[in-house]
Amino acid sequence: MARPDKVAAVAELKEKFTSSQAVVLTEYRGLSVAQLKDLRRSLGADATYAVAKNTLTKLAAKDADIEGLDEHLVGPTALTFISGDIASVAKGLRDFAKDNPLLVIKGGVMDGRVLDADEVKKLANLESREVLLAKLAGAMQANLQRAVFLLAAPLNQAARALGALETAAQADPSVIGGAGSAPAADQAQEQGSADEAAADTAAAAASTEDAAPAAATE
């Protein structure tokens, strides 16, 4: 029957496997206590570095439905549980290993998939979360500015058209309706009145000519 302390340790490891963004396995043999302190400090608040027995880690990985990790659990193993930016922590481990060759990256786990040492090192070459967010914000701002420009373009064109029409109206008031069209309307009315007067004069003359023969006959 399993001891309660081991059961609790496996349960804790399983919870860390399932809740972490990623896990990196390292061999720490030969590192001093002071060096391990420096390593933990260099990883910051985004990760926790813990030494665990391989047998307990295997059980926890199995409970977390992680397959293929056993081959990396050989020799003294420490687990880096990453809760924050994966790239930043991977860079921290890589840089520490350069200065302290006794720290060896053995593999890792991300999204339930087991990674080998080379794949873990590639994570260190990724851009940090802050850089990616800055690039995303820049791209969104550029798209927003482009959208504003596209929306404003028809308004600008309409403004230019209205301006051109106003300039044309000032040069020739008859271009658009308004005060400029009043003289033309007055001229048309005067012309109509003149035509009516001429028609009345012609009718009067015709009546006089018809009356003259009748008077002669009498």
pLDDT digits (tens, 9 = 90+) for 59-104: 999 999 999 999 999 999 999 999 988 988 999 999 999 999 999 9
pLDDT of residue 103: 95
CATH number corresponding to 4-126: 3.30.70.1730
Q: What are the structural domain ranges in the chain?
A: 4-126, 127-172
How confident is the model over 117-139, as a mean pLDDT? Answer: 68
Query: Does 177 or 188 have the greater pLDDT score?
Result: 177
**Sole residue written with tokens 């990760």:** 47
pLDDT in tens, 21-38: 999 999 999 999 999 999
| Whole-number Cα distances in Å, 150 to 65, 145, 147, 157, 161 | 51, 9, 5, 11, 17
The percentage of residues in the chain with a pLDDT greater than 90, rounded to a whole number, is 45
The yes-or-no verdict on residue 208 having pLDDT over 90 is no
Q: Which two tokens stand for residue 71?
A: 């081959």
Query: Does 11 or 131 have the greater pLDDT score?
Result: 11
CA dist., res. 180 & res. 183, Å (int):
7
pLDDT of residue 171: 72
Whether 20 and 81 have beta carbons less than 8 Å apart is answered as yes
Query: Does 71 or 210 have the greater pLDDT score?
Result: 71
149: how many CB neighbours lie within 10 A of its CB? Answer: 10
The yes-or-no verdict on residue 165 having pLDDT over 90 is no
Does the global pTM surpass 0.85? no
| Whole-number Cα distances in Å, 78 to 3, 6, 54, 83, 175 | 22, 17, 9, 16, 87
The yes-or-no verdict on residue 181 having pLDDT over 80 is no
The percentage of residues in the chain with a pLDDT greater than 70, rounded to a whole number, is 59
The yes-or-no verdict on residue 14 having pLDDT over 50 is yes
**What's the half-sphere exposure (Cβ side, CA atoms, 13 Å) at 109?**
28
Query: Does 47 or 133 have the greater pLDDT score?
Result: 47
Specify the 3-state DSSP secondary structure of 26. strand
Whether 66 and 112 have beta carbons less than 8 Å apart is answered as yes
pLDDT of residue 157: 64
pLDDT of residue 58: 95
The one-character DSSP state at 175 is G
